[in-house]
Structure 1
Amino acid sequence: MGIDFLPDKPIYQQLIDRITGDIIRGTLKPGEKLLSVREYAVEAGVNANTMQRVYRELEQMGITETKRGQGSFVTEDEEKITVLRDEMKEQLVSSFLQSVEAFGFTTSEIVQHLQERGGVND
């Protein structure tokens, strides 16, 4: 199967983003068991060592927990998931605003355009 990865970002980071995105969207629920490292590596079409790094970093971030002999699970700490969601939102908005400024658009121009498209509710 495999995933189409972007060439300008490390694969392990793209996998972290993918899993955190699934958690933020609710595709992966608090307390839900993740695939094993090997299963996810096969599904993603990457080396098991890459997946092991992904799982290790997710655990260091406090987003997952490893239970010896049982596997890795999404944290049940709703506060950590809320913080993750807020951090991701801030990163996306900051990146977007940097792009807007780089092209010389004003915030009001962008807000107006989004409202015309129906992308912003009052």
Structure 2
Amino acid sequence: MVSIDKTSSKPYYEQLILGVKEDILSGSLQSGDRLPSVREMARLLMMNPNTVSKAYKVLEAQEVIITVKGKGTYVKKIDTELRDDYQIQKIKKKLNELIIEAHYLNVSKKEINQWLDESYQHLKGE
């Protein structure tokens, strides 16, 4: 289940977006699973419903979830053929920034690769 770190500098809606995506990656949420309504999620996470609504709208725009009027919000099936090149470029830029920072902390390429493998295995529940 998604959790929000109230002490984090990351906005709550971004934490919620990442949390939902993490739950999908780990298998806690699967394609077709129903998400709590905006009000239910706000109550569960003790957040403003507008914040949850904003996160849900972003997730819908990214085609992670889909809302069916009168029925609810569901995890959308991942289209393995669809790739968003713009978002991929943003991820690559973030990765480059992390590699630069790691270089100045004397972190080796081998360590970075190990971290990537560990993170991926942890998130996938392997």
Q: Give the TM-score normalised by the residue count of structure 1.
A: 0.71
Displacement of 1:78 in angstroms is: 4.1
> Aligned partner of 2:61: which letter?
Q
Does the aligned pair in 1 maintain the 2:4–2:12 contact within 8 Å? no
Does the aligned pair in 2 maintain the 1:30–1:78 contact within 8 Å? no
Check if 1:68 corresponds to 2:69: yes
> Aligned partner of 1:60: which letter?
A
Query: Using the alignment, how far apart are the partners of 2:69 and 2:24 within structure 1?
Result: 22
Q: Give the equivalent residue in structure 2 for 1:101.
A: 103
Relative distance call for 1:111 and 1:77 in structure 2 (3 A) is: closer
Count of aligned residue pairs for this structure pair: 108
Query: Using the alignment, how far apart are the partners of 2:112 and 2:70 within structure 1?
Result: 51
Q: Give the equivalent residue in structure 2 for 1:14.
A: 15
Q: Give the equivalent residue in structure 2 for 1:41.
A: 42
SS at match of 1:9: coil
Bigger Rg, which one: 1
**Which runs of 5 or more structure 1 residues have no equivalent in the other structure?**
none
**Which runs of 5 or more structure 2 residues have no equivalent in the other structure?**
119-126
Q: Give the TM-score normalised by the residue count of structure 2.
A: 0.69
Give the RMSD, CA atoms, in angstroms. Answer: 3.1
